[in-house]
Amino acid sequence: MIISIVEDNKTYAEVLRQVISQSEKFTWKYTYRSAEEALQNINQNVPDILIVDISLPGITGIELIPELKKQYKDIRFLVCSIHDDDDSIFSALKNGADGYILKDSNIDDILSALTDLVSGGAPMSPYIARKVIGSFHQTKKPSPPEQLLTQREKEILEFTATGLSYKEIADKLHLSNLTVKKHMRNIYTKLEVQNKIEALKKSRIL
């Protein structure tokens, strides 16, 4: 899998490059120092995964993701940031981030997040995952589609928010992989969405 980076901090960008180089599964391709540079040049080397910082000079990482998604629907976006506030987290997810980890993540956590992305997960640092799960339990008037979800469907959706794959969710709930996939299809239908990230957004009423 080809990975590129959008990071203006040269030191941390080099850390990420070295982490990626330690794995036989991934190949580092390019590091962009700004969102503008990525927008201008990414067509020359389109990656499978783009690691994006939020705090960039000029166009922010949060603004960059939807712009690239318009043209490159197959790129998976992993935010890697120092920011752990609600606005940054949910704005990034709302704008199309497929995962969100903090910059204090260790090497194993970063590689695990990349592997989760490849397998269809939505990787998040534990602190970020707790915030996302906590948003499910905030006192809000639920939207009519959300009211249609069964307790099991809500449970599966919460596990999805932590970045678990369908197989991992099936193991935790003692269900078959096929049953979990069937529940997810029902969730998509009820919430009128097309994928996991959209389902998470709509269930949180973002």
DSSP 8-state class, residue 44:
G
Give 6's Cβ-side CA count (13 Å radius).
Answer: 32
Q: How far apart are CA 80 and CA 103, in angstroms?
A: 6
Q: What three-state secondary structure class fits 158?
A: helix
Neighbours of 205 (CB within 10 A): 13
Q: Nearest to residue 46, comparing CAs of 95, 4, 79?
A: 4
Domain boundaries, the chain: 2-131, 139-204
- Whole-prediction pTM: 0.68
Q: Please tell me the total number of residues recorded for the chain in this structure.
A: 206
Please report where in the chains the tokens 């910059």 appear, as a residue. 103
Residue 199 is predicted with a pLDDT of: 85
Percent of the chain whose predicted confidence (pLDDT) is above 90:
61
Task: Indicate the fold that domain 2-131 takes in CATH.
Answer: Rossmann fold (3.40.50)
pLDDT tens figures, 84-122: 988 899 999 999 999 999 999 999 999 999 999 998 889
Q: What is the pLDDT of residues 55-76, one digit of tens each?
A: 998 999 999 999 999 999 999 9
Please list the residues that pair with 5 across neighbouring strands: 31, 51
* pLDDT tens sequence across 114-154: 999 998 889 999 889 888 888 776 655 555 555 678 888 88
3-state secondary structure of 33: coil
Averaged pLDDT for residues 161-176: 90
* pLDDT level of residue 205 (50, 70, 90 thresholds): very low
Residue in this structure with the two tokens 């469907």, named with its chain if needed: 153
Tell me, which fold does domain 139-204 have in CATH? Answer: Arc Repressor Mutant, subunit A (1.10.10)
